[in-house]
Structure formats: C-alpha cells, structure tokens
Amino acid sequence: MGSREALEETTAAGGKTIDPLLQAYRWMLTARLLDEKLATLYRAGRIHGGVFMGKGQEALSVALGQGLQVTDIYAPLIRDGAGRLAFGETIHDALRNCLGSPQGPMRARDGNVHRGRPRQGYLPMLSHLGAMISVVGGMLMARRIQGKPVGVGATCLGDGGTSTGAFHEAINLAAVERLPLVLVIANNRYAYSTPTEKQFACHSLTDKAIGYGVDSHSVDGTDLMACRNTIFEAIDQARRGHGPQLVVADLLRLCGHGEHDDAPYIKDQLKASPLGRDCLEVAADQLLGERVATKNQIETIRQEIVESIETAVAEVSRESLPCLTHYDWCSLSTRRLADGVS
C-alpha cells in the first residue's frame, strides 16, 4: 500500500498527476476557505456549539495527513482541517457534520470536530486534551496482539495538551511498548489565553521527549516544505521500529481559540515575529520558487476550491435534517449502528 502522496500521483482529478507539494497547498487552501465558510455559517446561526479554525496551522496539519498511508491510524484535533482532507475526508462530510445532516459521518450526533470514520483508521476526536494518544496507542497495541499489520498511528496535540496526565501516561506507555506512534505538537504559544510560560517550565517541549525516552524533532510550523520533510522523517522512523516520535512545531494560531474569541491576548510582538508568518503565503512562495505552479495557476486553484465549497454547501443544505422526535438517536457505538458506519 502506497502513501497518500503516491496515491495522489495516480488518482488526481481528471487522471492527471499532480505534484505532491501543489496537492498539499490545495488541501491547505481548501481547509482555510472551508474554515472561513464554516465561520460564516456559524455567524448566520446555522452551526451550533462552536467553530474552531486551523488558521496558521495548515502546513503542519497537511504534512501529517499527507505522510500517512491509507492503512495507518490518524487522530486529528480541532485545528486539523487540512490533515483531515489529506487523509481522505471530503468537503461534504465536513459540512454534513457541522450542519447536522444524518448523512454525515456521525449521523447528526456531533456538530463540529468530533467526526471520523474509525473503520478507515480516521478517528473521531475526544475533546479531553491528551486523550487521543492512548486511543491511538491502544489501537496499535490491539493490532499487534491480533497479529495484524500494525502500521503507524498518529495524533496531534496543542502545547496545552502536553501538561495533562493523559499525555504523560499515554506517551510513557507508548515508549515502554515502543509503539509506532507519531505525536505532533502544535506549539502555538497559547492554550486558549494561557501563554506557554504559565503552562510548563521546560525550555522546549522536545525536552519532555528525553524524560520519556522517545525521539524528538523540531520544525518551523509555518514552513510547508520543512513540515513535510520533518514529519515524513518521523513517520518513517516510527514505521522502521524506532518507537514513538515526538514532533514539536513552532507557529502561531492566526485566529481566536474558536470563532467566538477574537484573541486580544496574542502579543503583537509574536504576531510580528517569524512565528506569525502565514503558512499559506509561505507555501505559495515555495510553489513559485520550486516552479511547481504559477501565480495564475494558484489563482485558478483558489477559484476552483471556492466553487466546490459553495456547491457542497448548497447540496448539503438540501439534505433533510433528522426529525427530532422520530430519529433513532441511539449511540453510534451500538452494534446495530456501528455496523453500518464505514
């Protein structure tokens, strides 16, 4: 089974091959524009609960989704729209979930980010920070015990999530068991409004890896090419039996914690620093520099994405909502419903 990247080469729209870097950019831009559309729908009262955006984290996110193989396990977090698309989620599925369509992956039981297709190795997230590490670790252990091909399991976390007990227990066990786990940390300098200096006292989050006995990697999270190189290397190391790999990416969240937060606490000094670069702009420059695309092609891609999002919103909006009194609201984990979930 080839990587997502190899798959793209052969299955790009219209049978044409597409450069993996350009494909990464396409997913990043799709995620950004879809997030913006979701924010608009939220403000219009069509999405309930919350909308959490990945603005500024698309390069890191896409690199993980793109580097994994289709048989691997992927557990994204709230800012991983780009990675979700790269791992195979459709725009329609994302919209269905947020707009409450029973045709969505969680059949209208969730309104935003707790969506996935577990049988395809794409896990719906638990909100409790750090919880997904042990879920992925458990799945890897189960595959190992059952004698099945184990593959790689990957999940994402924020800087805040590294201070939880769940993080400690899960990474410790993964290290002891030498699980092929890739843990990607987006150090965006804040957990909601709490800055990193109020979260932990170590110099760098990679220092934590030493204590657990796992390998670590640092990367500039605003740089698409660097993210792809570093994360692909981490995935490769995990696949080759070198145990858990901790990747720490430095970047900033270029938005609030959620659409309800205008983030006045993010310091101007940080925004003006290299951390505050917009990874989409950096990626576009890289495409031009590598002669992978021209400015006109990039603009055409943007127009195509806008069109596909608008079409998807119109189509999903026509899908009927569940009838509150007659819909079967029983848990998706029940055998009757779970068997029907792909």
Ligand X SMILES: Cc1ncc(C[n+]2csc(CCOP(=O)(O)OP(=O)(O)O)c2C)c(N)n1
What is the footprint of Mg ion within residues 270-289 (CB under 5 A)?
A: none
Residue nearest to Mg ion (CB): 158
Contact letters for Mg ion, residues 112-131 (x by CB under 5 A): --------------------
Q: Which is nearer to ligand X, 207 or 285 (CB)?
A: 207
Element (H, E) at 218: strand 215-220
Q: Which is nearer to ligand X, 85 or 191 (CB)?
A: 191
Q: Is 220 helix (H, G, I), strand (E, B) or coil?
A: strand
**Least Å from the CB of residue 32 to ligand X:** 16
Q: Provide the token pair at 44.
A: 């219009």
* Measured distance CA(121)–CA(102) in Å, rounded: 21
Q: What share of the chain is helix, strand, coil (3-state, %, to 5)?
A: 50, 10, 40
8 Å CB contact between 206 and 246: yes
Which span (126-134, 214-222, 224-232, 259-267) binds ligand X, by CB under 6 A?
126-134
**Least Å from the CB of residue 265 to ligand X:** 12
Residue 154 binds which of Mg ion, ligand X, none (CB < 5-8 A, kind-dependent) = none
Q: Is 231 exposed, middle or buried (0-12, 13-18, 19+ CB in 10 A)?
A: buried
* 80 near Mg ion (CB under 5 A): no
Which span (4-12, 19-27, 41-49, 155-163) binds ligand X, by CB under 6 A?
155-163
* Measured distance CA(274)–CA(194) in Å, rounded: 20
**227 vs 54, 61, 79, 93, CA distance in Å?**
15, 9, 16, 26
DSSP string spanning 36-48?
A: HHHHHHHHTT-S-
Contact letters for ligand X, residues 308-337 (x by CB under 6 A): ------------------------------
Residues 3, 40, 120, 164: which binds ligand X (CB under 6 A)? 164
* 158 near Mg ion (CB under 5 A): yes
The H helix count followed by the E strand count for the chain is 13, 7
**Least Å from the CB of residue 171 to ligand X:** 15
Which span (9-17, 92-100, 156-164, 276-284) binds ligand X, by CB under 6 A?
156-164
Contact letters for Mg ion, residues 177-206 (x by CB under 5 A): -----------x--x---------------
Residue 164 binds which of Mg ion, ligand X, none (CB < 5-8 A, kind-dependent) = ligand X
Report the candidate in 172, 187, 180, 107 with the shortest Cα–Cα distance to residue 148.
180
Q: Which is nearer to Mg ion, 97 or 188 (CB)?
A: 188
Residues that bind Mg ion (rule: CB under 5 A) add up to a total of: 4
Residues 5, 58, 89, 159: which binds ligand X (CB under 6 A)? 159
* 79 near ligand X (CB under 6 A): yes
Place of tokens 């007659």: 326
* Measured distance CA(194)–CA(206) in Å, rounded: 20
* Measured distance CA(303)–CA(313) in Å, rounded: 15
Residues that bind ligand X (rule: CB under 6 A) add up to a total of: 16
Residue 198 binds which of ligand X, Mg ion, none (CB < 5-8 A, kind-dependent) = none
8 Å CB contact between 264 and 255: no
Element (H, E) at 26: helix 20-43
8 Å CB contact between 217 and 230: yes
* 192 near ligand X (CB under 6 A): yes
Contacts with ligand X by CB under 6 A lie at 79, 127-129, 158-161, 164, 186, 188, 190-192, 253, 257
Contacts with Mg ion by CB under 5 A lie at 158-159, 188, 191
